[in-house]
Amino acid sequence: MGNCLPFLYRCGAGDEEDDTAPLQHRRSTSSFASSASTSHETTSVANSAPPPYSHDQNVYYPMQREQGIPATPAVSEEEQLRLARRLGLLQELPTDTFVEGGKGDVECAICMVDLKDGDPIRFLPCLHSYHVDCVDDWLMRSFTCPSCMEPVDSALLSSYTTHNVNDLAGLSSSPACAGPTVPPPQPRPPSTFQ
Amino acid sequence: MSNIAFQRLQREFKEVITNAEIAQTGIRLDTSDDTLTKLKGEIKGPPDSPYEGGTFKLDIIIPDNYPFHPPKVSFETKIWHPNISSQTGTICLDILKDQWAASLTLRTVLLSVQSLLAAPEPSDPQDAVVAKQCLTHPQMFTETARLWAQVCADAPGERNSQLYKKLTQLMDMGVGKESALSALSCNSWDVSKATEHLFS
């Protein structure tokens, strides 16, 4: 919807002869953009009031076609927050490229394929290492080491407390930890009211 | 099935089939189709348990998102165990549910099922009737479990003549072997109660 306003502005302000060519161009780009957009965006577009240029059937056609596609199941806000937090935590875990004869495991325990020189790997706090793709997929489901079942976030949090206590509130992954950090304001003593 | 799942299963399969050490523990793995989604497992009843020497067949179904989700494992062979349903063969085992880890393999799963046979957990039951018997009449539980293993899983050894006599008594009435076993076991080996249970 971001490009609607400039389009309308140009439609009204531009002169009649010159307008047809850019309009054709606009039609093709806007239909391409809407067919490539996600179903979520499409529903929000379809639910809003019809724009002033609704007589233009070419613009509307791909949107109507996409209405038949069932929308992806809605993810609750809480779940989205949890996933976002976890994605953030994932970025805190060190990555490396595998070097043969170096430290760490020689086989990725998730796909059971031997690690090769140059494979991107990720280290967990327990020092187990896996292919980045394999372990990220696993950690988004369960935040524990697949080999030793060590919870990753508690280890990550404790390693951070030693470095920077102030970051702890921002790193905490469970909603229970994300309580108010500022103490409730104390009632002023009555003497100050004078 | 994803490519990672298929490749991993091939490796797991090869490991179980070629490793002589694994064969010694009485664990076998078989497949019925090339897609590796439905597998057949086999474990030997562990020594010093009522299931000793029995051959237990298991159904294994591999989910699409294996190894990120656990395989579905259930007993095909009838078994009398507090953590396994005597009716459906469903197994209550933490690593097949919330304690699954991607580094676990079919071999370790089958080994865990085998050790579950050696160490029943009646306090966390799958089959309430079996669990109750296991807690209140441990002697009867052991005898029942042994007879089930001998009748259904070809476990060797002398059959308990007293219990076996009751079983043949019901089978002579035209009741199937497994339903007769189940009816008697669920009714504390009381023949009249079991008959009532079967024909009511």
Domain ranges of chain B: 3-118, 128-199
Q: What is the pTM of this model?
A: 0.69
Burial class (CB in 10 A: 0-12, 13-18, 19+), B182: buried
Q: In the prediction, which pLDDT does A65 show?
A: 42
Amino acid at B23: A
Percent of chain B scoring above 90 in pLDDT: 80
Structural contact between residues A129 and A121, judged by C-beta atoms closer than 8 angstroms: yes
Taking contacts as CB-CB distances below 8 angstroms, the residues of chain A near B101 are: 142, 144, 146-147, 149
**Residues of B designated catalytic:** 92
Taking the Cβ of residue A4 and every Cβ of chain B, the question of whether any pair is shorter than 8 Å is answered with no
Contact A146 B12 (CB under 8 A): no
Q: In the prediction, which pLDDT does A79 show?
A: 86
pLDDT (average), residues B183-188: 94
**Residue in B4, B8, B101 nearest the CB of A149:** B101
Structural contact between residues B47 and B115, judged by C-beta atoms closer than 8 angstroms: no
Name the residue of chain A whose CA is nearest to B7's CA. Answer: A111
Distance of CA A42 to the CA centre of its chain: 19
Task: Provide the 3-class DSSP secondary structure of residue B29.
Answer: strand
Chain B residues contacting A via beta carbons under 8 Å: 4, 7-8, 11-12, 67-68, 99, 101-103, 105
Q: In the prediction, which pLDDT does A73 show?
A: 61
Evaluate if residue B163 carries a pLDDT over 90.
yes
Q: In the prediction, which pLDDT does B116 show?
A: 96
Average pLDDT over chain B reads 92
Q: In the prediction, which pLDDT does A88 show?
A: 86
Residue pLDDT tens, chain A, 194 long? 444 444 444 444 444 444 444 444 444 444 444 444 444 444 444 455 555 544 444 444 444 444 444 455 667 888 888 888 888 888 888 888 888 877 777 889 999 888 888 899 998 888 899 999 999 989 988 889 999 888 887 766 666 555 554 444 454 544 444 444 444 455 555 554 44
Interatomic CA distance for residues B141 and B148, integer angstroms: 10
Q: In the prediction, which pLDDT does A156 show?
A: 67
Higher pLDDT, B86 or A125: B86
CA dihedral A140, A145, A151, A154 (to 10 degrees): -80
Evaluate if residue B87 carries a pLDDT over 90.
yes
Interatomic CA distance for residues A162 and A110, integer angstroms: 31
**Residue in B4, B8, B102 nearest the CB of A146:** B102
Instruction: Give the mutation candidate from A105, A111, A144 for the B interface (greatest B CB count, under 10 A).
Output: A111
Evaluate if residue B86 carries a pLDDT over 60.
yes
Interatomic CA distance for residues B59 and B72, integer angstroms: 8
Q: How many angstroms away from the CA of B157 is the closest CA of chain A? A: 40
Q: In the prediction, which pLDDT does A163 show?
A: 52
Taking contacts as CB-CB distances below 8 angstroms, the residues of chain B near A138 are: 68, 102
Burial class (CB in 10 A: 0-12, 13-18, 19+), A190: exposed
Evaluate if residue B102 carries a pLDDT over 80.
yes
What count of Cα atoms within 13 Å lies in the side-chain half-sphere of residue A147? Answer: 18
Taking contacts as CB-CB distances below 8 angstroms, the residues of chain B near A114 are: none
Structural contact between residues A134 and A111, judged by C-beta atoms closer than 8 angstroms: yes
What's the CA angle centered on B105, arms B99 and B111, to 5 degrees?
85
Taking the Cβ of residue A140 and every Cβ of chain B, the question of whether any pair is shorter than 8 Å is answered with no
Structural contact between residues B156 and B165, judged by C-beta atoms closer than 8 angstroms: no
Query: Out of 3.10.110.10, 2.40.110.10, 1.10.10.2120, 3.40.50.150, which CATH number does the structure's domain B3-118 have?
Result: 3.10.110.10
Structural contact between residues B41 and B12, judged by C-beta atoms closer than 8 angstroms: no
Taking contacts as CB-CB distances below 8 angstroms, the residues of chain B near A137 are: 68
Interatomic CA distance for residues B53 and A164, integer angstroms: 59
